[in-house]
């Protein structure tokens, strides 16, 4: 990336690494600002994890009991069962020139705790979390619901991805509506 100016200035120079001082000074303003603009476009993805344990069951009230059992199997047991979920929240942003951070990790943790973990942890999702009164609490729907809880809450950076693991070998990703 640092070579871009050198190529532009020293294209006719057979030794591009030895750009004369006077030519360095003559870099036009637009070219310098273009370089800084390009640098400011660098995006970093930063991910923070959190864990919560919740109970759920799968049930579609529009179906008969037989149909629910046929589709959802043991997951349709209305007493519910538990999972230890892992949540990953990925934020996209530029690296702050002063702090070196994309986001304040402590604040991100607090937001995840306040908006998601404190609401979902040690709860029966079907009965105690409002969005799952109408939506089956599958891993996919958890990713969607958690995105909606976090959207607009980021203080720095942009919410990029919500990943929810129900088990280490099963996870769902959501990148936002329309993504
Ligand atoms: Ni389950």
User: What CATH number is associated with residue 91?
Assistant: 3.30.479.10
32 with 99, same domain: the answer is no
List the one residue out of 5, 103, 93 whose CA is nearest residue 42. Answer: 93
List the one residue out of 60, 58, 63, 79 whose CA is nearest residue 139. Answer: 58
Residue 75 Cα to ligand 1 midpoint, Å, equals 6
Active site residue 75: yes
98 with 13, same domain: the answer is no
Residue 125 Cα to ligand 1 midpoint, Å, equals 11
- CB of 84 closer than 8 Å to CB of 51: yes
Residue 50 Cα to ligand 1 midpoint, Å, equals 19
Q: Which domain holds residue 24?
A: 3-40
Residue 124 Cα to ligand 1 midpoint, Å, equals 11
Query: Six-digit token pair at 50?
Result: 């959190």
Q: Answer whether residue 57 is part of any domain.
A: yes
7 with 84, same domain: the answer is no
Residue 135 Cα to ligand 1 midpoint, Å, equals 14
**Which residue among the candidates 75, 115, 124, 151 is catalytic per the annotation?**
75
86 with 153, same domain: the answer is yes
147 with 100, same domain: the answer is yes
**Which residue among the candidates 67, 110, 122, 155 is catalytic per the annotation?**
122
Number of domains in the chain: 2
Q: What is the pTM of this model?
A: 0.76
12 with 57, same domain: the answer is no
pLDDT in tens, the chain (179 residues): 443 443 333 344 444 444 444 444 454 454 445 445 445 578 999 999 999 999 999 999 999 999 999 999 999 999 999 999 999 999 999 998 888 889 999 999 999 999 999 999 999 999 999 999 999 999 999 999 999 999 999 888 899 999 999 999 999 999 998 77
Beta-bridge mates of residue 89: 48, 162
- CB of 18 closer than 8 Å to CB of 87: no
Distances in Å between the Cα of 130 and the Cα atoms of 62, 120, 127, 145 are 19, 10, 8, 10
Q: Answer whether residue 9 is part of any domain.
A: yes
78 with 152, same domain: the answer is yes
H or E element, residue 39: helix 29-40
147 with 127, same domain: the answer is yes
28: Cα separation from own chain's centroid: 39
Query: Six-digit token pair at 131?
Result: 């969005």
85 with 25, same domain: the answer is no
């Amino acid at each position: 990336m640092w070579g871009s100016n050198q190529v532009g200035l020293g294209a006719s120079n057979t030794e591009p690494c030895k750009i004369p001082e006077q030519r360095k000074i003559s870099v036009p303003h637009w070219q310098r600002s273009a370089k800084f603009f390009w640098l400011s476009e660098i995006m970093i993805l930063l991910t923070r994890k959190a864990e919560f344990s919740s109970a759920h069951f799968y049930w579609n009230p529009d179906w008969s009991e037989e149909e629910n059992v046929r589709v959802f199997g043991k997951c349709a047991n209305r007493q519910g069962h538990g999972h230890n979920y892992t949540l990953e929240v990925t934020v996209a942003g530029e690296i702050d020139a002063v702090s070196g951070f994309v986001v304040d990790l402590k604040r991100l943790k607090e937001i995840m705790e306040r908006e998601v973990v404190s609401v979902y942890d040690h709860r029966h999702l079907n009965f105690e979390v409002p969005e799952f009164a109408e939506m089956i609490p599958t891993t996919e729907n958890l990713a969607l619901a958690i995105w909606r809880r976090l959207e607009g809450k980021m203080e720095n950076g942009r919410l990029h991805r919500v990943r929810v693991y129900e088990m280490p070998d099963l996870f769902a990703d959501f990148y936002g509506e329309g993504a």
